[in-house]
A and B are shown apart, each in its own frame.
Chain A
Amino acid sequence: MSQDVFLLGLISAVWAALALAYALVPMLNMPGSALIWGSGAGLFLGLALWVRRG
């Protein structure tokens, strides 16, 4: 895996973890944040796959 793809995947993974935290941690309780960053995680995963396929 190239560094480009790895870093895009890293962004996706971190955002996905944050989206989960926003969705599941009662203290945070921010469904709007979960939706945005969860969508962003999916988007960056898609971008990473697009780059990998070239």
Chain B
Amino acid sequence: MTQALDPGRSLPTRRGFVAAASLGILGLYGVWAALGASGKSGKDESDGHAGHGGEPETASSSGGHGGHGASVGGPSTDDFRRLTEDFSKRWKQQDGSVRPGYVPEPVRSEPDPHAGHDMHAQPVQPQASHAGHAGHDPHAGHDMQAMQALAPNAHAGHEVAPLGNADGGNEVYLMAYQWGFEPSWLKLEAGKTYRFRMMAVDASHGASIQMGSGSLITRLRQGVLTEREITFTDKGSHLLYCTVFCGAFHDRMTARIDVV
């Protein structure tokens, strides 16, 4: 205290000045507040990508539940596989894409001829861009296993809650596995809000979407259902890719989202 009052000291050599200047970093909170980023998250813009001012069409996602990394209240990985399979089957289009809520084009009822195979080793048209995967995967068993779970009737007899038929195609199921995504080609409508229900079924993965000048990064933990409500505002084609190291072929884990 005596030092602070000492006239022999210049201002910047006073301890009180140093303390006050150091506390100045806390003023950054004011900057965040000015940017609209200081409030409680979760209900209206939990990740800050909701900055366009438009409210989403559907209810916001639920807040966090349970411990971190714990799967509480969500489906098991097997159940999620089946839910994803149902989702893909229901909305699969003639060109191989999965377009939830798209009615004019009839949904294929016959089993997928590629079911049960490594999707990358047997690419249909949309996966042609990922043809480089073929032959790379020494762990095809993983894919096989994952895809067997996706195959029609692979788990007949299990009681899994069916997808709501009245959702109007607002829900998107996305499964991440070593090393791919299911569905691997999504077609979504611009301006429509989708509830993405995502899960990594064998190890932690990322499900990030490249948006040109930036990306929407999502981290998925094994067996944890992660939900995001996503509205694409412009048309375009986006790379979906894994951003959490998941093994040798991590950098080949991609899918495609076309916004139409």
Contacts and interface: CB of A to CB of B under 8 A. Distances in A.
Interface of A: 29-30
A52 B67 CA distance: 40
Interface string B67-103: 1100000000000000000000000000000000000
A29 B68 CA distance: 8
Interface string B42-71: 000000000000000000000000111000
A47 to B, nearest CB: 26
Contacts of B68: 29-30
Contacts of B66: 29
Interface residues of B, number: 3
A2 to B, nearest CB: 20
Interface of B: 66-68
B202 to A, nearest CB: 24
Contacts of A29: 66-68
4 contacts: A29-B66, A29-B67, A29-B68, A30-B68
Contacts of B67: 29
Nearest to B67: A29
Contacts of A30: 68
A30 B66 CA distance: 11
A44 B66 CA distance: 31
B42 to A, nearest CB: 12
A29 B66 CA distance: 8
A30 B68 CA distance: 8
A30 B70 CA distance: 12
A13 to B, nearest CB: 21
Nearest to B70: A29
Nearest to A27: B64
Nearest to A29: B67
B224 to A, nearest CB: 14
What are the 4 tightest A-B residue pairs by CB atom distance, in nearest-first order?
Answer: A29-B67, A30-B68, A29-B68, A29-B66
Nearest to A30: B68
Nearest to B66: A29
A47 B66 CA distance: 36
A16 B68 CA distance: 22
A37 B175 CA distance: 36
A18 B1 CA distance: 30
Nearest to B64: A27
A29 B67 CA distance: 6
A12 B232 CA distance: 49
A30 B69 CA distance: 11
B148 to A, nearest CB: 36
A6 B215 CA distance: 48
B95 to A, nearest CB: 46
B258 to A, nearest CB: 39
